[in-house]
Structure 1
């Protein structure tokens, strides 16, 4: 049994397809199938139930899946620890964040980071909230910050809540929805919506549009501009729209889910040692969110 076989097993289990798993791992399908068969031979059991179009875990496969996943997490932790001890990790840090918090805040925090930790190069990129967990999980970035829509128990990730953020269903103040004393599901579904789009291939029910007709954008800022210019409705974070609410350019829709709360989180790979720069950044963001 080796880590390549375990990774093959977990990836096929996650994707439900040998072909898709080969694509994800960027390897030959035949080689992947051989790895699975070698693992099954060594364990003297069938790990999958195979049909014409897909594969599903057998009862034995289900029983060992979590342990196999934990093995991969442990292996990743060992590699990360060695990289940190050797100093490789300290030279450059990639950070992804959504735009649920104001741009000015991120500009100020990035400059302060550079001043406090001059020996480290920080690459800060903007991403859709729906892509943050996947970016960390696939090692495209080291850390991510944003609204947590997934809220799933994933042993490969650590979700550290930094505070609550209010999500508001809003429309322009002159929109017909703002005039209604109560908005039903049926009325809201018939109104054109602007929603949050993401590239992550995992289905996320929390990000599915509510309306029958919608336009999707990867940033809250684009959603906000479209709501203001085109008269659509959408769900936006309070820190981004507080000014527009005060100026009565936007109104909160009087619907059951007009006001909800979500966790604003820092995403980290499981096993990643605490990074002083990220601990500082997390504290700054937590202090900002406390004001809301």
Structure 2
């Protein structure tokens, strides 16, 4: 059993086909198929149920899948540790973040990061909250920060809660929903909703539209703009809208789930050594959320 065989097994399990796995790993389809067969021969058991070109995990495959993922994570951590010792560690760090916290705060923190760690280049990209874990799991970024809508048992991801963030169902102050003493599910369902959308292929029930009519955006800021200019409602993080509430431009909808709390998290690849800059950033975000 070797690393290429384990990588092949996990990727075929994730994609459901040899051809799909070959595209993801950028390797020859025949070579990948041979790796799977060699692994099955060594283990003396079939790891997949084969139906035409589609493969699904057998019971044996399901039983070893998480262990194989853990092996890959461990191998990645070993390489990372060796790179750190050799001085090649984290010359460049990619960070994804959602816009649940104000942009000016991120500008301040990013400039301080740049000054405190001049040997490291920090690349910060904006992403939908629903895509953060997938970006880390697929190694498109090293770290991600944002609202955690789904806590799943994913061997590829480590979750580090930094604090609680309050989410509010809001509408414009003169919207008909704001004038109701109590808003029912039926009334909310028939009002236009501005909702979060994401590219992650996994369904996230927490981000599914509640209303029958909705318009989707990948950022809270666009949702906020739509609520302020259109006859719509939506769910937004309190740090982003506090001053609009104080100015009475927005109103909290009096619905059963008008106020909820979620974890604000740092997401990293499982077993990944944390860059000191990310430790510093996590501490600042924790302080911000605690003070808030």
Q: Distance in 2 between matches of 1:264 and 1:172?
A: 26
What does residue 88 of structure 2 align with?
88
In angstroms, what is the RMSD of aligned CA positions? Answer: 1.5
Mapping for residues 175-190 of structure 1, pairs under 5 Å? 175-190=175-190
| CA apart distance, 1:196 | 0.9
Mapping for residues 148-227 of structure 1, pairs under 5 Å? 148-227=148-227
Q: Distance in 1 between matches of 2:190 and 2:85?
A: 57
Q: Distance in 2 between matches of 1:119 and 1:141?
A: 19
Mapping for residues 12-27 of structure 1, pairs under 5 Å? 12-27=12-27
SS of residue matched to 1:89: coil
| CA apart distance, 1:291 | 1.9
What does residue 56 of structure 1 align with?
56
Q: Distance in 2 between matches of 1:138 and 1:80?
A: 16
Q: Distance in 1 between matches of 2:246 and 2:23?
A: 49
User: Cα deviations across residues 199-220 of structure 1 (Å, max 9, x unaligned)?
Assistant: 2222212111111221111110
What does residue 101 of structure 1 align with?
101
SS of residue matched to 2:90: helix
| Of 6-15 and 229-238, the range deviating more from structure 2 | 6-15
Structure 1: unaligned runs, 5 residues or longer: none
What does residue 134 of structure 2 align with?
134
Runs of 4+ in 1 over 6 A off after TM superposition: none
User: Cα deviations across residues 230-252 of structure 1 (Å, max 9, x unaligned)?
Assistant: 12111110000001111111111
What does residue 282 of structure 1 align with?
282
Q: Distance in 2 between matches of 1:227 and 1:53?
A: 47
Does the 8 Å contact 2:90/2:275 carry over to 1?
no
Structure 2: unaligned runs, 5 residues or longer: none
Q: Distance in 1 between matches of 2:222 and 2:291?
A: 25
| CA apart distance, 1:39 | 1.2
What does residue 70 of structure 1 align with?
70
Does the 8 Å contact 2:195/2:223 carry over to 1?
yes
User: Cα deviations across residues 75-95 of structure 1 (Å, max 9, x unaligned)?
Assistant: 111121122222222322111
SS of residue matched to 1:90: coil
TM-score under structure 1 length normalisation: 0.95
What does residue 267 of structure 1 align with?
267
Q: Distance in 1 between matches of 2:67 and 2:120?
A: 35
SS of residue matched to 2:94: strand
Q: Distance in 2 between matches of 1:246 and 1:22?
A: 54
SS of residue matched to 2:174: coil
What does residue 125 of structure 1 align with?
125
Q: 1:32 to 1:186 in 2, by over 3 A?
A: farther
Q: Distance in 2 between matches of 1:174 and 1:29?
A: 60
Q: Distance in 1 between matches of 2:246 and 2:56?
A: 53
| CA apart distance, 1:53 | 6.3
| Of 113-122 and 222-231, the range deviating more from structure 2 | 113-122
